[in-house]
Amino acid sequence: MQKITHLIKSFMLWELLKGMAVTGRYMFARNITVHFPEEKTPQSFRFRGLHAQRRYANGEERCIGCKLCEAVCPALAIKIETEERADGTRRTTLYDIDLVKCIFCGFCEEACPVDAIVETRILEYHGESRGDLYYTKEMLLAVGDKYEAQIAKDRAADAPYR
Amino acid sequence: MEAQLLHFFQWFWDLFGLWNVVWSFVQPVWPLIWTLIKIVVIVAPLMIGVAYLTYAERKILAYMQVRVGPNRVGPYGLLQPIVDGVKLLFKEIIVPIRANKFLFVLAPALVFATALAAWAVVPFSDGMVLANLNAGLLFILAMTSVGVYGVIIAGWSSNSKYAFLGAMRAAAQMVSYELPMGFALVCVLLAAQSMNLTDIVLGQQSNAGMFGWYFIPLFPMFVVYFIAGVAETNRAPFDMAEGESEIVAGFHVEYSGMGFAIFFLAEYANMILIAALTSLFFLGGWLNPFHGWPLLGAMSDFVPGLVWLLGKMFFVLFMFLWFRATFPRYRYDQVMRLGWKILIPLTLVWVVIIAAWMQTPYWLWSPEPR
């Protein structure tokens, strides 16, 4: 009896029609595509995007040139040179991150004792010629100044977990 | 209609007396010009149809896979096929080293030419056909068979092992599925008593509307013809000859730019041809499905036959796309097994059944005397 039902079903293309019913149903289901850039997927405050150099509230740059980030970077993307400043403190004269080498792991941010180098949530940046993705100190500080409010909020949101 | 157009031309030229001389040169070749006009009227919308079939395929497949297809290029992505065509035009044409250049260029032309030539006998409405051959069915089968040559030549002339093997497999598949197609059409021939495509459609005309069409008594043949048509055009699930992830592109792996575009266009033109033929043979062609029905018949009789035919073709093409979205690819030996050991015996059995059925008084689908 089972053999007969199996024969009838295979000639009626039963399984094929069941499969087509599934795709037919899905055709009218709401599609799950996120229409970038009009819509965006939710982003965590811990998202590791473009780097930035932060400052203290009084305007003093945070980075003291300890070179811990340069030492920990797995891709050797950070290049630092330091010098004594007029007021006797140590500050960097050269702080470059080659974003082409960077693997965006966030170790530099974790290693920094003063929270100077951070990774912001910015993922929408681009470079149009060869050197555009080699971020120098000025560029990093500029990013930091521009997005300080968002950076501070993200760090505050993450603070209970660090 | 042709006589009226000729008459109009004559009158128009007579208005400007000195054009009489021109007319005396044009008149002898007028049948040729008229045929060329008819060819352009068939081929131009067909090419636009092929281009937008690719668009429809991407969109419909996407919606079945719960995503959106192209929607950036124009409004709702409608300019996508045009952009694709322009891209293919600009690509570099690479001819493999030591490939037979003449055959390499001939192959896509052969496939495309036969795909277009078969449209000469397709009637779009009563009397609206380029060549009203009394052996129209035979002509169509012959044209699709010549298309297989193009595939073999493409694989051979590419001077590449994989292209050659792909071509052999594709050719074997196409040839072995022409047999169930042919036998299914033998059943249609039995029912319609004619090989003239117009007469086959008129044989399905009755006051029962869609119940007079051949897909009712010949339902298994309808299914067999459609499946064989899908296999003939190398469409999923029978597309291992061009299985993109398996043997790259099979027989047209060495073609780039325009050559590839022509194979692509030929495949889609073949698809539309099979859809048109399925509609003509089994779904009543240009006939109104509600003809003769109590209320709907009178309400829907004003719709021109061409619109019905296009609607049916659209439905069959939608089935093509639905098949592609749903089924996994057949393995080559499974393809051969299906064609030879399942479809052909089925068609042979059904020919005998139909022949016997037609001798009984229960056969209701005889063509009305014209």
- On whether both B169 and B283 belong to a single domain, the answer is yes
Q: A36 CB near a chain B CB, below 8 Å?
A: no
Minimum-distance CB partner of B67 among A13, A24, A33: A33
Residues B120 and B200 in one domain: yes
Which residues of chain B does A23 touch, with a Cβ-Cβ cutoff of 8 Å? 64, 322, 325-326
Nearest partner of B329 among B269, B224, B241, B222, judged by Cα: B241
> Cα distance from A28 to chain B (closest Cα, Å)?
7
- Do residue B154 and residue B287 come from a single domain? yes
Q: Position of tokens 């065509």?
A: B85
Amino acid B246: pLDDT: 57
Residue of B nearest to A19 (CA): B326
Q: Quick check: A29 contacting B, CB < 8 Å?
A: yes
B81 touches B54 (CB < 8 A): yes
Contact: A23, B66; criterion CB under 8 Å: no
Helix (H, G, I), strand (E, B) or coil at A4: helix
Kindly state whether residues B135 and B262 are assigned to the same domain: yes
| Residue A10 or B339, more confident | B339
Could A22 and B326 be called an inter-chain contact, meaning their C-beta atoms sit closer than 8 Å?
yes
Please write the tens of the pLDDT for every residue from B177-235.
999 999 999 999 999 999 999 999 999 988 888 898 999 999 999 999 999 999 998 88
Q: Give which of B234, B97, B240, B91 is closest to B160, Cα–Cα.
A: B97
Structural domain includes residue B327 = yes
* Cβ-contact B120, B276 below 8 angstroms: no
Q: What is the mean pLDDT of chain A?
A: 89
> Are B131 and B235 within one domain?
yes
pLDDT average, residue stretch A76-90: 92
- CA-wise closest residue to A112 among A61, A157, A153, A156: A61
Q: In terms of CA atoms, which chain B residue is nearest residue A18?
A: B326
Instruction: Write out the residue range of the structural domain in which residue B51 sits.
Output: 38-90
pLDDT for the residue numbered B162: 79
Do B222 and B332 fall within a single domain? Answer: yes
* pLDDT, position B138: 93
Model confidence over B156-173: pLDDT tens digits? 888 888 788 888 888 999
Complete DSSP assignment for B260-275: HHHHHHHHHHHHHHHH
Among B71, B90, B109, identify where a domain stops. Answer: B90
Which of A22, A25, A27 should we substitute to test contact with B (largest number of B Cβ atoms within 10 Å)? A27
In a domain, B21, yes or no: no
Residue A16's alpha-carbon distances to B57, B66, B212, in angstroms, are 20, 20, 27
Does B300 lie in the same domain as B231?
yes
Evaluate whether residue B29 is within a structural domain: no
Q: Is A161 within 8 Å of chain B by CB?
A: no
Q: Which residues of chain B have pLDDT under 50?
A: none
Residues B60 and B125 in one domain: no
Q: Total structural domains in chain B?
A: 2
- Do B209 and B75 lie in a common domain? no
Let me know: does A136 contact A96? Beta carbons within 8 Å.
yes
Instruction: Kindly tell me if the per-residue pLDDT of A146 is higher than 90.
Output: no
Same domain? For B51 and B136 the reply is no
Same domain, B106 and B56: no
**Complex ipTM value:** 0.78
Task: Give the span between the Cα atoms of B61 and B55, in whole angstroms.
Answer: 10
Burial class (CB in 10 A: 0-12, 13-18, 19+), A99: middle
Residue A134 β-bridge partners: A98
Whether residue B66 and residue A32 make contact (CB cut-off 8 A), yes or no, is yes
Please name the member of B64, B223, B327 whose beta carbon is closest to the beta carbon of A27. B64
Residue B109 placed within a domain: yes
Could you tell me if residue B30 is inside a domain?
A: no
The position carrying tokens 């064989």 is: B228
**Same domain (yes/no): B113, B70:** no
Kindly state whether residue B12 falls inside one of the protein's structural domains: no
DSSP A23-58: HHHHHTSPP----TTTS-----TT---SEEE-B-TT
B262 is a domain residue: yes
Which chain B residues have a beta carbon less than 8 Å from that of A25? none
Residue B370: its pLDDT value, please? Answer: 60
**Which token pair is B345?**
């015996």
Beta bridge partners of A7: none
Q: B27 in a domain, yes or no?
A: no
Question: What local confidence, expressed as pLDDT, does residue B251 receive?
Answer: 73
Query: Could you tell me which of A51, A34, A57 has the C-alpha nearest to residue A125?
Result: A51
Whether B78 and B55 have beta carbons less than 8 Å apart is answered as: yes
- pLDDT of B244 reads 56
Question: Cα–Cα distance between B272 and B310 in angstroms, integer?
Answer: 10
Final residue of a structural domain among B72, B90, B108: B90
- For residue B219, the chain A residue with the least C-alpha distance is A12
Buried b / exposed e across B110-144, counting CB within 10 Å, b at 16+?
Answer: bbbbbbbbbbbbbbbbeebbbeebeebbebbbebb
Of A13, A16, A26, the CB nearest to B66: A26
Per-residue pLDDT of A96-133, as tens digits, reads 999 999 999 999 999 999 989 999 998 888 889 988 88
